């Protein structure tokens, strides 16, 4: 589907709101409420325990995983849903470290999402084998890929600047140095055409509540390249990753393929919401989506720079080096974003000074961008943000 006027009609957006925060939490697809209600009443209510088989709950993590797999260029049968993104980062990094047992350096950048870094710190400490987490500037990553490197762990699109790493190039460099890669697709999946297979990526993880619109707390996903999966010994060895979960053996034997990256019971109600969200994504051509996304971000940058000289572009100017969000730095960014939200243009703020706007062609069009520019311009030029009410920090996301 390349007709994004048609997809826009599939979403519920609050009256009058221009929602430029679909990169943080996607809005509600209109079909979701009925799908979730079916999971609650017709599935759980009527099938009770037999829903695990008869409503397909047990298979959801891999069935839905394949539908996400298409969006990120994964081979069928190599993506599975479950847990949160932080847990999936832990699993992927633990497995990646195991594949390069003689090296100790994990390389990431300071634009990576902090939870990825925290999970790596926790894992390294647990392992107690002297691994070093080397954190460099995003633009310096390539220069730090050398023969010490065990794992290159990056978020493809930076959460606070929208910078887009070149997955193909960095993966090739990492492989040439004898390292493996872990790619976080939190701001990529549903934002641009990811090609895990074409890039020869090793591991990837991501979430489904941002661009994929599966709702607050929707499950994460993990991808393991087919060449690696048989060698992955899950660090989080839960029963649903066991080769025979219902044999209740006392010894862990990992399941075949990506199933071994499952841990515990899948969140069935959240999976139902994801199912409804993917009904839209199943129809989307990712190349067309990326084209529309670039057009929206270009339009926004031009419009804001023409009217708001006090805002400094904090995202790459070259659209080929940018994801589907645009960030501007402003000293009073927190208050300014609150003032925009009060005017029904919703983006978000990221410390210390970043105003972040996400562009999601499925439900944002050029008219919305024009209206957003007009509102932001008014907020900035009339200093509407300079109101004590907007400076009280209470927002948690």
47 is catalytic: no
Pattern 102-131, its own copies, x by CB under 8 A: --------x--xxx-xxx-xxx-xxxxx--
Return the structure tokens found at 81.
């849903």
From the list 39, 9, 5, the residue with the least C-alpha distance to 27 is 9
Q: Is 99 among the residues that bind its own copies (CB under 8 A)?
A: no
From the list 363, 304, 350, 370, the residue with the least C-alpha distance to 27 is 363
249 is catalytic: no
Give the span between the Cα atoms of 131 and 149, in whole angstroms. 10
Q: Is 251 among the residues that bind its own copies (CB under 8 A)?
A: yes
The distance of closest approach from Cβ of residue 354 to its own copies in the complex, given in angstroms and rounded to an integer, is 10
The number of residues that bind its own copies (CB under 8 A) is: 96
Closest CB to its own copies among residues 129, 227: 129
The distance of closest approach from Cβ of residue 279 to its own copies in the complex, given in angstroms and rounded to an integer, is 15
Q: Is 51 among the residues that bind its own copies (CB under 8 A)?
A: yes
Q: Which stretch binds its own copies (CB under 8 A): 49-57, 194-202, 297-305, 365-373?
A: 49-57
Q: Is 389 among the residues that bind its own copies (CB under 8 A)?
A: no
Q: Is 263 among the residues that bind its own copies (CB under 8 A)?
A: yes
| Long-range contacts, stretch 363-367, CB < 8 angstroms, 24+ apart | 363/4, 363/7, 363/8, 363/10, 363/11, 363/13, 363/19, 363/22, 363/27, 364/8, 364/18, 364/19, 364/20, 364/22, 364/296, 365/4, 365/5, 365/8, 365/296, 366/295, 366/296, 366/299
The distance of closest approach from Cβ of residue 209 to its own copies in the complex, given in angstroms and rounded to an integer, is 7
The distance of closest approach from Cβ of residue 114 to its own copies in the complex, given in angstroms and rounded to an integer, is 5
Sort strands 132-136 and 149-155 into parallel, antiparallel or unpaired. Answer: unpaired
Q: How far is CA 210 from CA 162, 242, 287, 316, in A?
A: 14, 30, 19, 21
Q: Is 83 among the residues that bind its own copies (CB under 8 A)?
A: yes
Q: Is 36 among the residues that bind its own copies (CB under 8 A)?
A: yes
Among residues 4, 7, 21, 189, the one that binds its own copies under rule CB under 8 A: 21
Closest CB to its own copies among residues 199, 268: 268
Give the span between the Cα atoms of 263 and 236, in whole angstroms. 7
Q: Which of residues 177-236 bind its own copies (CB under 8 A)?
A: 207, 209, 215-220, 233-236
How many of the other CB atoms lie within 10 Å of CB of 49? Answer: 8
Sort strands 203-207 and 220-224 into parallel, antiparallel or unpaired. Answer: antiparallel
Q: How many helices (H) and strands (E) does the chain have?
A: 15, 15
Closest CB to its own copies among residues 1, 28: 28
Q: Which residues contact 250 (CB under 8 A, 6 or more apart)?
A: none
173 is catalytic: no
356 is catalytic: yes
The distance of closest approach from Cβ of residue 73 to its own copies in the complex, given in angstroms and rounded to an integer, is 25
Return the structure tokens found at 101.
């047992």
Q: Is 268 among the residues that bind its own copies (CB under 8 A)?
A: yes
Q: Which of residues 305-344 bind its own copies (CB under 8 A)?
A: 341
The distance of closest approach from Cβ of residue 226 to its own copies in the complex, given in angstroms and rounded to an integer, is 23
Q: Is 101 among the residues that bind its own copies (CB under 8 A)?
A: no
**What amino acid positions are annotated as catalytic residues?**
113, 184, 209-210, 356
């Amino acid at each position: 589907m390349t007709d994004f006027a048609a997809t826009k009609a599939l979403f519920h957006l609050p009256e009058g709101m221009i929602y430029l925060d679909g990169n943080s939490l996607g809005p509600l697809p209109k079909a979701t409420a009925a799908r979730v209600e079916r999971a609650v009443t017709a599935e759980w209510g009527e099938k009770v325990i037999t829903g695990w088989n008869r409503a397909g709950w047990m298979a959801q993590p891999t069935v839905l995983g394949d539908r996400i797999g298409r969006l990120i260029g994964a081979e069928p049968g190599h993506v599975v849903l479950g847990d949160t993104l932080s847990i999936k980062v832990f699993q992927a990094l633990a497995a990646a470290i195991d594949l390069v047992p003689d090296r100790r350096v994990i390389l990431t950048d300071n634009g990576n999402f902090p939870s990825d870094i925290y999970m790596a710190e926790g894992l390294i400490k647990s392992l107690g084998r002297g691994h070093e987490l080397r954190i460099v500037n995003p633009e310096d990553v390539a220069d730090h890929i050398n023969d010490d490197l065990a794992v290159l762990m990056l978020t493809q699109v930076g959460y606070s600047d929208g910078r887009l790493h070149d997955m193909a190039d960095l993966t090739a460099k990492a492989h040439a140095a004898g390292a493996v890669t872990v790619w976080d697709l939190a701001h990529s999946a549903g934002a641009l055409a990811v090609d895990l297979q074409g890039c020869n990526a090793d591991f990837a993880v991501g979430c489904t509540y941002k661009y994929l619109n599966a709702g607050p707390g929707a499950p994460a996903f993990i991808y393991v390249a087919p060449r690696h999966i048989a060698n992955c010994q899950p660090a989080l060895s839960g029963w649903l990753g066991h080769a025979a979960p219902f044999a209740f053996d006392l010894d862990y034997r990992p399941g075949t393929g990506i199933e071994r990256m499952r841990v515990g019971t899948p969140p069935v109600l959240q999976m139902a919401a994801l199912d409804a969200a993917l009904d839209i994504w199943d129809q989307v051509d990712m190349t067309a989506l990326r084209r529309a996304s670039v057009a929206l971000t270009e339009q926004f940058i031009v419009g804001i720079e023409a009217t708001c000289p006090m805002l400094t572009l904090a995202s790459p100017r070259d659209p080929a080096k940018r994801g589907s969000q645009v960030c501007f730095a402003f000293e009073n960014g927190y208050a300014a974003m609150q003032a925009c939200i009060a005017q029904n243009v919703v983006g978000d703020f990221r410390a210390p000074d970043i105003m972040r706007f996400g562009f999601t062609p499925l439900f944002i069009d050029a008219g919305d961008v024009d209206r957003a520019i007009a509102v932001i311009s008014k907020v900035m030029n009339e200093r509407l943000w300079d109101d004590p009410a907007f400076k009280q920090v209470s927002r948690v996301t």
